[in-house]
Chains A and B, each alone.
Chain A
Amino acid sequence: MSGSGMGIALSGLDASQVGLDVVSQNISNANTPGYIAESANFTAVQDPLSLVGGGVQVASVSQLSDQFQKTIELNANAQQSYATQTQSIANQVMTVFQEPATNGVSEQLANFWSSFDQVANNPTNLAARAQVVSNAQNLANTFNQNSNTLVNLASATSSSIQSQVQTLNSELSTLASLNGAIHTAGTNSDQTLVDQQNALLDKISSQIGATIQHQNDGTVNVLLNGVMLVQGNLAPQTISYSGATAGATPPYGLLIGGANQQVPTSGTVGGLLNAVNTTIPEYQAKLYSVASSLANLVNGQQESGAYLVPTTSGGSTTYTTNSASAMAIFQPLTVSASGAFTMAVNPNLLPTSSPTAADPGPWGLAAAANSTTANAGDGSNAQTIAEFANSTAGPDAAWAQASGQIGLDVSNANAALSTAQTNYQSAYQSNQAVSGVQQNQQMVNMVNYQQSYQAAAKLIATLAQTVQSLLAAV
């Protein structure tokens, strides 16, 4: 028996204690986001003066990470965030094109055309004419409201991007500080710093789908579309949202260092930018197209007809047809700086108590064809307008097409989100399988270290007893 046996047993006690500490750390952090399971690495101590050796030592405590699996998970997470935003925005756009709906645009258009039938059937009926004007106002209000909804959505999306960018700058700054701490600590780096680094990378990747480059010293570089955002412990590039700049025009993106504009194609910010650059403007344009198609179609026919100017004398009313200057039903559409358009009914067609040739009120609807003979009872022009309901290239068809298109976009966004979620789940499971904390595994390790500890302690007791026996014999 060598006298170094006590030292060897003691090293076993120490190593088992570290092993139990690692198990404790793992179990405690089983549900900590970004935590990577740790493992104690033991090596035998060589002793050139001993034939047996010098016991055991803890060479290192390493993390059970797999950068390949982690990169796949980060990418999947970024895609999932992008798909989540895309689906959410598309669903909100769909509320503007909500069909089939009672009193939706489709039904309002149908009612608008039908009200022209009523005028055609009885051109000298003021109530029928007022109904047309009222329906036209309802349509204009609905289009205006829908246009404003899209502008508000774009505004809210821009605010959300700015908020995300603010958070991102803070995260990049923290990451650079962590890089510095990890670089300074070198191989003695506290694993908790790496866990914090991982948690930050999860967030950054989820926001902009950045590329992560792991360096040999434990630091990471973060790039967006090949442009460096964070390099080691150097101060990160400041990011700003170009859409927040006065006078900026789309497409908007992220300004790296105040100048270099990049548009992420994944992550939450990527999804939001896609909304303000593509989705919302596309449907604002479709809405405008339907509204202008309606106004142009109706105005064109209206202006080719003749309207009435009533004259009441002695309790009876006579009508004079006026074809010289048939007025438009809808005013020209105007677009504000915010991008919202305004549709309005010609104020000269709004009900008035004293109709004149210049301000005829609903009598200004050109129900009659342009004619040199008296034709106040002619509703043929109104009838032609009513028949626009059957046009396959009119506003009804354009509206149905736009509603179908947003339905398709939302349906595709739902499918894309479902796929992205499944991919992320798969990537997350794969990464967790490698670097997550498995309780059974930790329990086995705990029993293992416990028994090693008990054995080493028993060995020390046995050695002490042996020495005592020897001393008693002397």
Chain B
Amino acid sequence: MTSSYIPGLTQQSLASELAFQLNNTQTQLNNLTSQLSAGVNVTKPSDNPTALVQILGVQSQLTRYTQYQANATDGLGLASLANSSMSDAVNILQQARVTLLQAGSPGAVQGAPGLVASLQSDMKSLMAIGNTTYLGTAVFGGTSGAPAAYSSTGTYLGNSTSPTRTVAPSYQVPVSVTDPFSAMLTALKGAITDLSANPPNTNKVVTTDLANFDTAFQGVQNAAGQAGSNVQQLTLDQQQATLSVQNLTTELGSLQNLNMAQATTQFQQVQNNYQIALYVTSKSVQQTLAQYLG
């Protein structure tokens, strides 16, 4: 007699299969636990390699646009100071023009010292405005880095390159104007010299000096306009950068944030599967014929 042997299930193969399936379910549970605890669906590169590259790209952009926003805010501080300084300068110069016009009125020769004093006061105020500083650097000195834009004699110490702020990719906006007062200081000096002459040359003051003043004043007004325009431009750019930051944050969220409802449901489902698998495994030492024999 040869004992018959029918291929079939063995206890070892059953145990191996159960362990394999339990491990698979546990791995799924671990992945879901990791995602749920972090609140994001990509916690490591292997979770979603394509999404990861997108996430890193958007995160870099977000940091960049947040910096553009900060650059615009920083630039706005300087631009606003330049703008208000230029407005002050225009107001002072409007008074100075009235002073110059007074040189053409009767009795101006006798009143010349008063006019000179007034113009010198205006020039001094203008110099003070011209040497306005922002964080230790002259606002109207360009990129020279000089602590003062004008020397005590009115000589311009800066350069002609306006400082800029980068507020968008490869896009720089000027934040100030350079050397707005040299021509005006020269004109005022000329008028003061003519009024200080003996006798005062009031005729020249109301003709040549006034013409020079008006030309220089036009330049100052243009610079003031430019300073105002800078503020306007930086405000717009700041808003644009803020909008971009909001959009990128939303985009990052859509790429990264976990669909909590879906993940929680999935977690519950896998947990149920795992518990069932554990129960089945605990019962898997199945009864054999041995239980029923003698």
Q: Which residues of A contact B (CB under 8 A)?
A: 15, 19, 22, 30-31, 37, 39-42, 56, 64, 91, 94, 97-100, 106-107, 109-111, 113-114, 117, 120-125, 316, 318-319, 368, 373-380, 383, 386-387, 389-390, 396-397, 399-401, 403-408, 410-411, 414, 418, 421, 425, 428-429, 432-434, 436-441, 443-448, 452
Contact = CB atoms under 8 A, between A and B. Distances in A.
Interface string B264-294: 0000000000000000000000001110010
A421 B20 contact: yes
Given A42-B1, A436-B12, A114 B67 contact: yes
Shortest Cβ-Cβ A-B pairs, 10 listed: A376-B145, A407-B45, A436-B10, A407-B49, A377-B145, A443-B289, A410-B46, A110-B63, A378-B143, A432-B13
A37 B20 CA distance: 23
A111 B63 contact: yes
A242 to B, nearest CB: 31
B145 A378 contact: yes
Contacts of A110: 59-60, 63-64
B288 to A, nearest CB: 4
Given A99-B52, A403-B56, A432-B10, A120 B166 contact: yes
A389 B17 contact: no
A319 B52 CA distance: 45
Given A375-B145, A445-B3, A31 B13 contact: no
Most chain B CB within a 10 A radius of its CB, from A99, A100, A106: A100
Contacts of B13: 428-429, 432-433, 436
A411 to B, nearest CB: 5
B170 to A, nearest CB: 6
B169 A433 contact: no
A387 B166 contact: yes
Interface string B170-195: 10100000000000000000000000
A22 B5 CA distance: 13
A94 B50 CA distance: 15
A109 to B, nearest CB: 7
26 contacts: A31-B11, A39-B5, A99-B44, A100-B256, A107-B59, A121-B71, A121-B74, A123-B145, A374-B159, A376-B143, A377-B163, A378-B143, A378-B161, A383-B166, A390-B169, A396-B56, A403-B45, A407-B52, A410-B44, A410-B45, A425-B16, A425-B20, A433-B13, A443-B289, A447-B293, A452-B1
B135 interface: yes
Contact of A124 (B12, B56, B74, B137): B137
A362 B135 CA distance: 19
Most chain B CB within a 10 A radius of its CB, from A91, A124, A389, A404: A404
Contacts of B12: 30-31, 432, 436-437
Nearest to A448: B3
B161 A99 contact: no
B263 interface: no
B154 interface: no
A446 B293 CA distance: 10
Contacts of A125: 135
B53 interface: yes
Nearest to A95: B44
Given A114-B64, A122-B137, A379-B143, 8 more contacts: A56-B1, A120-B166, A319-B145, A397-B57, A403-B52, A408-B45, A410-B45, A452-B1
Given A40-B3, A124-B145, A117 B67 contact: yes
Contacts of A114: 63-64, 66-67
Given A110-B63, A113-B64, A375 B159 contact: yes
Contacts of B64: 110, 113-114, 389-390
A368 B161 CA distance: 12
Given A40-B3, A106-B59, A319-B145, A404 B53 contact: yes
Contacts of A22: 3
